[in-house]
Structure 1
Amino acid sequence: MQAAHLEKLNEGQRAAVIHGMDLPEGKSAGPLLIIAGAGSGKTNTLAHRVAQLIISGADPRRILLMTFSRRAAGEMGKRVERICARVLGDKAGVMTDALAWSGTFHGIGA
């Protein structure tokens, strides 16, 4: 059974979003590297990945989400909020507000 919020993703994007989520607790799937050209859906895939982590119970305060530009960082945060709102409803605001480590490489590292 596929979650409704993943239906519009292609097979590769869906695989990236759920990477390692079916492993037993305490096991790690290892790193995930996404290499794709412009306009291929990287931002959408990453937003769905972060939202899926939150939906699956990950503490948003322990997620680090970084991009190169402020515009991209803002867009990424909005997308995560929208996806979580569709799935979690009223609980989404509290969860996505806790996504404190979201921004640019320079802003977070400063």
Structure 2
Amino acid sequence: MNIAAPDSSFEAPAYLARLNDEQRLAVVHGDGKVATPLLVIAGAGSGKTNTLAHRVAHLIVKGADPRRILLMTFSRRAASEMAKRVERIAGEVLGRDAAIIADALA
């Protein structure tokens, strides 16, 4: 990934601590400004699915309506796994407020 680093005052939320620097930058891409398109290209086993799940959860935590997020995969199994990851990550941050996420991601 080739993403410009945020300024030195940037402090990532605790739920992003498990990500490496490049994954974290992809997840918070566009925070506080109009987001430009982001393309993530990475090899097998590099954490693309985890990065996407964290990105969606981050958008929800920041106030995005989960019903307005389109997340596509190539199989039902992958879609189910992605939805579970997003629910888990967002649930860690939002707690009880995360109940709407399960319905919206279905």
Q: Same fold (TM over 0.5)?
A: yes
Helix, strand or coil: the match of 1:79? helix
| 2:76 corresponds to 1:58 | no
Structure 2: distance between partners of 1:71 and 1:47: 15
Q: Which of the numbers 30, 36, 41 marks the counterpart of 1:35?
A: 41
TM-score computed with the length of structure 2 as normaliser = 0.86
TM-score computed with the length of structure 1 as normaliser = 0.83
| 2:20 corresponds to 1:14 | no
Please list every run of 5 or more consecutive structure 2 residues that lacks an aligned counterpart in the other structure: 1-10
Deviation at 1:57, TM superposition (A): 0.1
Q: 2:104 aligns to what?
A: 98
Runs of 4+ in 1 over 4 A off after TM superposition: none
Q: Which of the numbers 46, 54, 71 marks the counterpart of 1:48?
A: 54
Structure 1: distance between partners of 2:64 and 2:101: 10
Per residue, is there more strand in 1 or in 2? 1
Please list every run of 5 or more consecutive structure 1 residues that lacks an aligned counterpart in the other structure: 101-110
For 2:39, give the aligned amino acid.
L
Structure 1: distance between partners of 2:71 and 2:78: 11
Q: Deviations over 1:34-63 (max 9, x none)?
A: 000000000000000000000000011110
- Report how many aligned residue pairs link the two structures: 96
Q: CA RMSD in A?
A: 1.0
Q: 1:87 aligns to what?
A: 93
Deviation at 1:29, TM superposition (A): 2.2
Structure 2: distance between partners of 1:17 and 1:85: 17
Structure 2: distance between partners of 1:86 and 1:93: 12
